[in-house]
Amino acid sequence: MTLFVAQDLVKRFGGLLATDHVSLAVEHGEVHALIGPNGAGKSTLVNLISGLLPADGGRIVLDGIDLTAMSAHERVRHGLSRCFQITSVFRGDSVLDNLLLAVQAHAGSSFRCFGRRSGEAALGERALELAHKVGLEGMLDREAGTLPHGVQRKLDVALALAARPKLLLLDEPMAGMGPEDSQQMVELIARLRSDAAILLIEHDMDAVFQLADRISVLDYGKVLASGDTTYIREHPEVQAVYLGTEEAR
Amino acid sequence: MDPIFIFEQLLNGVGYGLMLFLLAAGLTLVFGIMDTMNLAHGSLYMAGAYIAARVHEAGGSFVGAVLVAVAATVLVAFLLELLIVRKLYARDHLAQVIATFGVILIADDAVKAVWGPSPLMATTPAALAGPVQLLPELPYPAYRLVLLAVGLLVAVGLYVLVNHTRVGMLVRAGASNRPMAEFMGVRVGRVFSFVFALGAALAALAGALMGPISAVQIGMGEAILIPALVVIVIGGIGSVRGAFVAALLVGLVDTAGRAFLPPLLRSVLPPALAADLGPAFAGIAMYVLMAAVLILKPAGLFPARA
Amino acid sequence: MSDGVMSRTLPASAAARWLPWALLGLLALLPVVGAEMGLDYYVGFVRRMLIVMIAATGLNFILGYGGMAALGHAGFIGVGAYTVVALVDAGASSAWAAWGAAVLVSGAFAALIGAVTLRTRGVYFLMITLAFAQMLYYLAVSLSAYGGDDGYGLYSPLELGFGRTTGDAAVFFWVVLALAALVFAFASRAAVSRFGHALMGIRDNETRMEAMGYPVYRLKLVAFTGAGALAGLAGALLASHNNFVSPATMHWTESATLLVMVVLGGLGRRWGAVLGVAVWLALSEVLKLYTEYWHWPLGLMLIAVVFVAPRGLAGLFERRKA
């Protein structure tokens, strides 16, 4: 059974049709890349899927459960977690506190207001596990805002992983990275695919072709083409519209 | 209710609305362009009222008194901007609220020290003291007519200034996208100072004109500040056009609420209950208007930033 | 808030942790010492201070930890006070019943108002909370059964049990002190609880919190309701303290002053609200003795705090993180 289906998603901003009846499917264990020139509507789509923007039409189903009417935080609880294109961590907190906060959301109620959180060993263990997974175990005490960009992006991914997602949305995880950091991120994503299916929005074509099982191309808010890497590489319209116009835009 | 009474009250509402606009225009520009919440704006209004009242009383002409009040207030505002407000532009709203609340406390004591604790009686200029026969059955105070005229004139002037001059273009550029304006080489610091002084001049003008028809007293700045803030929130922060529309709305709703609601309630409710609820509903009207607008349009009627 | 103001600091030293509690313990002696030395006035003054501290602690929780800049907190103080008035007017005489009801009613008002206002952010939130407080103010003015504009006098003290009443200055002082200590203990525990951490996360990055699976709106609403209930408790105690309630309690400048005291003391600092109230009220009281121009030094102090000590007075006692 298909893990994730987005069907006929529509979003209008005033007169602009930012998302024009987009349909997407992600299979279990798959890395599905979403590419498209700047302004194609990728970020809008991620916000619609994660629920941070209300959609004007369409349906979203994850693992047989209809998420369409759910708010963003409810979608996370049903296994749909995301990262942000602009790194979104708690800059004034330590790496450990960042992870603890992410872990806390998925282990019991956050309305408890009397016990000290520091007394909960299980949260700490799970936070360490996450740190280990993304390779941050050496800098737990560092203030997140002072870390190098590449490290902050790893932390961003770790925050999303705390939900134990079935589907992980990665919004341009390599944005603003040098080649070395990018390669590390590619390796990290490759490791993560055993934990969750991944919808990868990315500009870095090398990374996309290394990681993706399937690729969908978005242009002017529409899915232009969808298929495996060879199909997309050789798709004439994709070559013309996406690869050809990349510089022009 | 007879139509003459309604018409008269509507005129009063428009007059109050225009005065609110004079205050709100400066407030919304300072807020929109500098992202700065200046609670001391009401203190500038108070300064204008006090100075105009005293100069007029001391034998000056009314027009002269208003001009002196505006000039002196602009001078005070210049110092205020230089010493305090300028250092707040980069701070968060809460810091701005706290510091400018501090300015209010100082300003109120300063006024008390200079002019004493009791309210001043600002007199209407003699030439405008009488009524004008607007309609056969509607005598209307000449002074209030002048208020209407001045308010409209300033509104038109401000519209021309903001929309059809180079300075206005810079102001609008700063309000809608400050980083871009800086990037284009606009000297934002100067635009800030100009806007702050302009806002102060309008606040002082409003204070000077309102003096004869309201109480010139300590705390008048805080009392008018809240409706002015309501106006800029309804209009959309940073939008002069929004402030104009919202000021007229608030002026009309507030005046109409006070004039029409109590008699309306008396006609449908038991007298005791009506007497209780009338003033309450009238006081609340403006806030209900704001809450309704914000629920329908969370960024106000005319959001300055898309 | 900017990162600088809100950045985390090291845990306080043991002495700093116990000092405030030790001071509160010492305060318990005040009615005894005060009676000996004829300082009855100051017993009353400190009692009022403690009551305001309860309200400020709630405001610090939503503003300092939760980032919700509400400019209508005095409205909930008023709801609490008028609940006591309504019950006394109807013949109630138990302090605990009246105060308990005040907490419930103001909490309910806060839940309703929060449900509407928490959809907005920043200045719009500030203004819409102000609007609701103004509506409560005019509602109080219209309650002619309770004196309208002139207010309502509570002529007989409320019963505290064991034959004691709020008219017994010392006993009432101890009751207020105990309630305040309970509130402070609860607030400082809540700050390091799951709820407190979640609230600070919302203050720092609301979108991320939502995207990590937190029910942001509900968390904020619960905090807002709790703060409103605490304000209601303070209002109820204030009614008994003054034996008088009037709409002036709910005027917007009262909300502003409460906000000012919290920021002065130190936003999101454990003892910030308490310190802010103590300094502000003590200074006002002392200045009033010496001059009729007692506002401007306070104004100057506010400006100085904004520029010199942006983390508030409590921030001055903290060790900076390396």
Q: 10 Å Cβ neighbour count for A180?
A: 9
Q: Is residue B131 part of a domain?
A: no
pLDDT band at C136 (very low <50, low <70, confident <90, very high): very high
Query: Is C155's pLDDT higher than 80?
Result: yes
Nearest CA in chain B to C310: B95
Amino acid found at A46: V
Q: Is residue C181 part of a domain?
A: yes
pLDDT at C6: 41
Amino acid found at C13: S
Taking a C-beta distance cutoff of 8 angstroms, is the pair A9, A178 a contact? no
Q: Is residue B303 part of a domain?
A: no
Calculate what percentage of chain A has a pLDDT beyond 70.
96
Taking a C-beta distance cutoff of 8 angstroms, is the pair B292, B246 a contact? no
How many domains does one find in chain B?
1
Do the chains contact at B105 and C299, CB–CB below 8 Å?
yes
pLDDT at A240: 76
Taking a C-beta distance cutoff of 8 angstroms, is the pair A200, A33 a contact? yes
pLDDT band at A156 (very low <50, low <70, confident <90, very high): very high
Average pLDDT over residues B126-132: 79
Rounded CA separation A154/A135 (Å): 8
pLDDT at C3: 37
Q: Is residue C66 part of a domain?
A: yes
- Give CA torsion, residues C172, C176, C178, C181, to 10 deg: -160
Q: Tell me the average pLDDT of chain A.
A: 87
Contacts of B280 in chain C (CB under 8 A): 138-139, 141-142
Rounded CA separation B301/C92 (Å): 48
Query: Is B92's pLDDT higher than 90?
Result: no
Chains B & C: contacts with CB separation below 8 Å: 129
Q: Is residue B127 part of a domain?
A: no
pLDDT at B112: 92
DSSP state of B217: -
DSSP per position, C78-94: HHHHHHHHHHHHTT--B
Model confidence pLDDT, tens digit, residues B263-291: 888 888 888 777 778 778 888 888 889 88
* Contacting subunits of A (3+ beta carbon pairs below 8 A): C
Q: Is residue B240 part of a domain?
A: yes
Per this entry, what is the length of chain A? 249
Reported pTM: 0.89
Q: 10 Å Cβ neighbour count for A174?
A: 24
**C284 at B interface, C-beta within 8 A:** no
Q: Collect all residues from A whose CB is shorter than 8 A from any CB in C.
A: 50, 52, 71-73, 76-77, 81-82, 84, 88-94, 97, 100-102, 104-106, 108-118, 143, 145, 159-160, 162-163
Average pLDDT over residues B110-121: 90
Average pLDDT over residues C314-321: 67
Q: Is residue C245 part of a domain?
A: yes
Do the chains contact at C204 and A52, CB–CB below 8 Å?
no
Amino acid found at C203: R
Query: Is C2's pLDDT higher than 60?
Result: no
Query: Is B65's pLDDT higher than 60?
Result: yes
Contacts of C215 in chain A (CB under 8 A): 73, 110
Which of C142, C253, C264 would you mutate first to test chain B, the one with the most B CBs within 10 A? C142
φ/ψ bin of C266: left (φ > 0), alpha (ψ from -120 to 50), beta (otherwise): left
Name the token pair of B175: 């309000």
Which of C303, C307, C308, C311 would you mutate first to test chain B, the one with the most B CBs within 10 A? C303
Name the token pair of C157: 């003290």
Do the chains contact at C5 and B92, CB–CB below 8 Å?
yes
- Range 229-258 of B in CB contact (< 8 A) with C: 229-230, 233, 237
Query: Is C36's pLDDT higher than 80?
Result: no
pLDDT band at B208 (very low <50, low <70, confident <90, very high): very high
**C234 at B interface, C-beta within 8 A:** no
Q: Is residue C160 part of a domain?
A: yes
Rounded CA separation B211/C116 (Å): 38
- CATH code, domain with B171: 1.10.3470
Q: Is residue B230 part of a domain?
A: yes
pLDDT at B66: 92
Rounded CA separation B172/B167 (Å): 9
Q: Is residue B53 part of a domain?
A: yes
Contacts of A165 in chain C (CB under 8 A): none
Cα dist. B262→B282, B285, C132 in Å? Answer: 8, 12, 21
Q: Which of B37, B112, B290 shows the shortest C-beta gap to C131?
A: B290
Q: Is residue B130 part of a domain?
A: no
Q: Collect all residues from C whose CB is shorter than 8 A from any CB in A.
A: 3, 6-8, 186, 189-190, 192-198, 201, 204-205, 207-216, 219, 222, 321
pLDDT at A176: 83
**C256 at B interface, C-beta within 8 A:** yes
Amino acid found at C275: L
pLDDT band at B178 (very low <50, low <70, confident <90, very high): low
Nearest to A198 by CA among A230, A149, A157: A157
Nearest to A181 by CA among A215, A217, A147: A147
Do the chains contact at B230 and C267, CB–CB below 8 Å?
no
Rounded CA separation B112/C293 (Å): 8
Contacts of B86 in chain C (CB under 8 A): none
pLDDT band at B304 (very low <50, low <70, confident <90, very high): low
Contacts of C300 in chain B (CB under 8 A): 102, 106
Average pLDDT over residues B186-192: 75
Is A171 strand, coil or helix? strand
A29/chain C closest Cα distance in angstroms: 22
Owning domain of residue C152: 38-251
Do the chains contact at C193 and A72, CB–CB below 8 Å?
no
Contacts of C306 in chain B (CB under 8 A): 88, 91, 95, 98-99, 102
C125/chain A closest Cα distance in angstroms: 20
Rounded CA separation C308/C322 (Å): 20
Taking a C-beta distance cutoff of 8 angstroms, is the pair A95, A141 a contact? yes
Q: Which of C192, C213, C219 shows the shortest C-beta gap to A76?
A: C213
Nearest to B121 by CA among B220, B222, B47, B213: B213
Name the token pair of A86: 């602009």
Query: Is A65's pLDDT higher than 60?
Result: yes
Q: Is residue B304 part of a domain?
A: no
Model confidence pLDDT, tens digit, residues C240-296: 999 999 999 998 889 999 999 999 998 888 888 999 999 999 999 999 888 888 899
Q: 10 Å Cβ neighbour count for A31?
A: 24
pLDDT at C219: 95
Owning domain of residue B254: 3-120+141-296
Q: Tell me the average pLDDT of chain B.
A: 86
Rounded CA separation C69/C60 (Å): 10
pLDDT at C322: 36
Which is it for strands C152-153 and A197-201: parallel, antiparallel or unpaired?
A: unpaired
In sequence order, what are the beta bridge partners of A65?
A62
Handedness of CA B48, B51, B56, B61 (dihedral sign): negative
pLDDT at B246: 95
Contacts of A93 in chain C (CB under 8 A): 8, 204
pLDDT band at B161 (very low <50, low <70, confident <90, very high): confident
Name the token pair of B305: 């930033």
C2/chain A closest Cα distance in angstroms: 10
Range in A111-115, A125-129, B169-173, B215-219 with the lowest mean pLDDT: B169-173
Query: Is C215's pLDDT higher than 90?
Result: yes
pLDDT at C101: 96
Cα dist. A18→A44, A67, A216, B46, C302 in Å? Answer: 7, 21, 16, 50, 48
Task: State how far Cα C107 lies from the chain centre.
Answer: 14
Which is it for strands A222-228 and A167-171: parallel, antiparallel or unpaired?
A: unpaired
Q: Which of A50, A84, A104 shows the shortest C-beta gap to C198?
A: A104
Average pLDDT over residues A198-210: 87
Phi, psi dihedrals of residue C318, rounded to the nearest 5°: -95, 150
More confident residue, C107 or A195: C107
Return all residues near A113 (Cβ < 8 A) that are at least 6 apart. Answer: C189, C190, C193, C194, C195, C196
Rounded CA separation A50/C208 (Å): 11
**C303 at B interface, C-beta within 8 A:** yes
Do the chains contact at C195 and A108, CB–CB below 8 Å?
no
pLDDT band at B1 (very low <50, low <70, confident <90, very high): low
Q: Is residue C289 part of a domain?
A: no
**C112 at B interface, C-beta within 8 A:** no
Taking a C-beta distance cutoff of 8 angstroms, is the pair C270, C16 a contact? no
pLDDT at A246: 47
Question: What is the longest distance spanned by two Cα atoms in chain C?
Answer: 61
How many domains does one find in chain C?
1
Taking a C-beta distance cutoff of 8 angstroms, is the pair A32, A26 a contact? yes
